[in-house]
Amino acid sequence: MRVCVGTIVHHPEDARITHRQIRALLDAGHEVTFVAPFTHCNVTPQPGIRAIDVPRAVGLRRGKAIKAAHAALRRGVKDADLLLVHDIELLLALPRRRPPTVWDVHEDTAGALEAKPYLPDSLRGALPPLIRAVEGRAERRLHLILAEESYRERFTGDHPVVLNHTYVPETPPPPPGANRVVYVGHISAARGAVEMVELARLLRPHGIRLDLIGPADRDVRPLLRDAQREGVLDWFGYVPNRHALRMAEGALAGLSLLHDVPNYRESTPTKIIEYMARGIPVVTTPLRKAVSLVERAGCGMVVPFGETAEVVAATAEAVLRLRDDGDGRAAMGARGYAEALGNYHWPSAAPDFVALLEGWARAPEEVAVRRAGAVTV
């Protein structure tokens, strides 16, 4: 099977796209063409794929990237058996002549608008109806994959869910240490950037440092740079997911201080599963699914939502309690690792994902929305 995969929003090293889905397709012997912003992100395409470079869609001005993507996808789908796109923007760039097409729904696009500081208030009100209309049209014309069970509520029919599992080491990682906390992932105000900087200042006198591993939104970069210059934290910027998780191993705790905004409210933060896979205790805000996962596995601590100072104080208290309880944090790390290995190991789900795409490629005329019997992989 020849698959064309496309994104103009996500990083070409995105964990879900590249390190899970594309890797699963390559491991199964399929050919992959990858349309992605390689130059913009300073990424060299991995061996074994056919790469097509496009501009990245950022901020309000996305027309140029969408236009370039249309031409790139036309090239990419020649002789392809399936097209797999990962952005709602690419629904506006689909070539008219194309193979069976799949939209992988990564997020609640309308719900995410609240966390985008560059949007004027006029667009915050106008965009949600347009987004829902685009989603409805896509459901009628394309195959859909959902990244979260909660996304089902946005669509008329049932669609397969491909959860954000991760790669869990076959051998247990080192136990958590006592002098470092980590955050892995994209950094933004809604993901707790301000709280984490203040937390770093509060923990510094206790001999505990904060490592931030991931790219940051433009509006919080000055804050992170200033904190790094002050010596209160280390911000490493973008690091490929597999390397970032190795860097996180041995940390005292992994942070997930997401705010209570619609796009996060009913999602399971992938970073929590990644921390668990690396034997790191989790400290999370009380998003419903995050709490359920952490409490079920007994692998971390929950801090309340609130004003910045309240969240920082509660998080610092949780970190210090973990620091002072070596046996407890080691047990949390071990329980989290066991839960991740047993239930969230991507190679266990990858064959079902590949089979799903193979089935759609073999039956190009079947695009109807299913009403029951959805498959979760």
pLDDT tens digits for the chain (377 residues)?
999 999 999 999 999 999 999 999 999 999 999 999 999 999 999 899 999 999 998 876 788 999 999 999 999 999 999 999 999 999 999 999 999 999 999 887 666 656 566 666 666 666 777 878 888 888 999 999 999 888 888 898 889 999 999 999 999 999 999 999 999 999 999 999 999 999 999 999 999 999 999 999 989 999 999 999 999 999 999 998 889 999 999 999 999 999 998 888 888 889 999 999 999 999 999 999 999 999 999 999 999 999 999 999 999 999 999 999 999 999 999 999 999 999 999 999 999 999 999 999 987 655 544 433 344 44
* Phi, psi torsion values for 42, nearest 5 degrees: 55, 50
- Residue 368: per-residue pLDDT: 43
The class level of CATH for 180-343 reads: alpha beta
Taking the C-alpha atoms of residue 300 and residue 111, their distance in angstroms, rounded to an integer, is 27
pLDDT score of 369: 42
Ranges of H-type helices in 209-345: 221-230, 241-248, 262-265, 270-277, 288-297, 308-323, 326-343
- What local confidence, expressed as pLDDT, does residue 372 receive? 36
d(CA 146, CA 159) in angstroms, rounded, equals 7
Enumerate the domain spans of the chain: 2-165+346-362, 180-343
Query: Are the folds of 2-165+346-362 and 180-343 the same?
Result: yes
Count Cα neighbours of 284 within 13 Å in the Cβ-side half-sphere.
29
C-alpha span between 95 and 192 (Å, rounded):
39
Q: Please tell me the distance from the alpha carbon of residue 355 to that of residue 25, in angstroms, as a whole number.
A: 10
The CA-based dihedral angle spanning residues 1, 39, 21, 257, taken in that order and rounded to the nearest 10 degrees: -170
The pLDDT value recorded for residue 246 is: 95
| Size of the chain, expressed as the number of residues it contains | 377
Give the pLDDT confidence score for residue 370 in this predicted structure: 43
Note the pLDDT of residue 338: 97
What are the tokens at 114? 């609240």
pLDDT at 366: 52
**Domain 2-165+346-362 belongs to what architecture?**
3-Layer(aba) Sandwich (3.40)
* 3-class DSSP string for 154-193: HCCCECCECCCCECCCCCCCCCCCCCEEEEECCECCCCCH
Q: How many CB atoms lie within 10 A of CB 240?
A: 16
Q: What was the pLDDT predicted at 316?
A: 98
